[in-house]
Amino acid sequence: MASASAGELAGQRVVVVDNLGNHDVAVALDRMAAASARICYLTPFLYPAPNVGTIHLDGLLRRLHMAGAELHPSTEFVELRAGMVVARHLHSGAQINHRADLVVAGIASRPLLTLAPILDDLRIPYQVAGDAVAARTALHAFREGANAVLRLETQILGDPNRRRRR
C-alpha cells in the first residue's frame, strides 16, 4: 500500500489474497475501499478477517459491501497468469478468475529455520511451532508452543507417566 496513492487506486481492480486475517490486512482493505478501488478479496478462512475483533469486523464488512467489494471466503489463490488471478473455492472446487491491475498479498513471511540443520547435525531434538509452521492466532500459537514443549519433554525425558515421582 505504501507505493500506491489513493488517487492511483481509484477504479483499479485490486485482488487481495488474505492468508493472515489480521488487523494489518483489514486496515489495508479499508484504505483501498476508501480510495474507490474495485476489490476482489480472497481468503482461505470461513469469513473475512477472522483475527480482527467483532466490532471492527462488523464495520469493515459494512464498508466493503458499500464499496462493492467481492468477498470470497474459503477460497485459495492458485496462480497469477497474464493479469488474471486464478483462485479455487476450497469446498466446491469452483474456479474463480478475476482480472487484476494490482495484487495485494497478506501472507506470512517465510520462517527462519537456519538453526534446524545445525540441531540435526548435533542430534538435538527441536520442534517447529507457531507462525513458523503457518499463520496462527495468538491463542493457537501459544497452544501449539506448549504442545511442542510437551512433545520435546517426552522425547528427551521419556513418558511422564512412566517416570518415577521424586
Assigned domain for 1 exists? no
- Tell me the pairing of strands 38-42 and 84-89: unpaired
Please tell me the predicted confidence (pLDDT) of residue 149.
Answer: 84
* Structure confidence at residue 8 as a pLDDT band (50, 70, 90): confident
Q: pTM of this prediction?
A: 0.66
56 is written with which cell numbers? 471492527
Task: Measure CA of the first residue to CA of the last residue in the chain; give whole Å.
Answer: 58
87 is written with which cell numbers? 483462485
Assigned domain for 129 exists? yes
Mean pLDDT of the chain: 86
Please tell me the predicted confidence (pLDDT) of residue 145.
Answer: 83
Going by C-alpha positions, the residue among 96, 36, 88, 104 that lies closest to residue 64 is 36
Instruction: Report the CATH number at residue 77.
Output: 3.50.50.60
Neighbouring residues of 21: CB distance < 8 A, sequence distance ≥ 6 = 43, 45, 48, 49, 50, 51, 52, 106, 135
Domain identity same for 86 and 147: no
Please tell me the predicted confidence (pLDDT) of residue 59.
Answer: 94
- Tell me the pairing of strands 75-81 and 84-89: antiparallel
* Structure confidence at residue 166 as a pLDDT band (50, 70, 90): low
Say how far apart CA 28 and CA 121 lie, in whole Å: 43
Please tell me the predicted confidence (pLDDT) of residue 111.
Answer: 77
pLDDT one-digit tens code per residue, 51-87: 998 899 999 999 999 999 999 999 999 999 888 999 9
Q: Please say which residue of 106, 134, 149 terminates a domain.
A: 106
**One-letter amino acid for residue 128 of the chain:** V
Domain that holds residue 150: 116-157
Assigned domain for 22 exists? yes
Whether the predicted pLDDT of 36 surpasses 90: yes
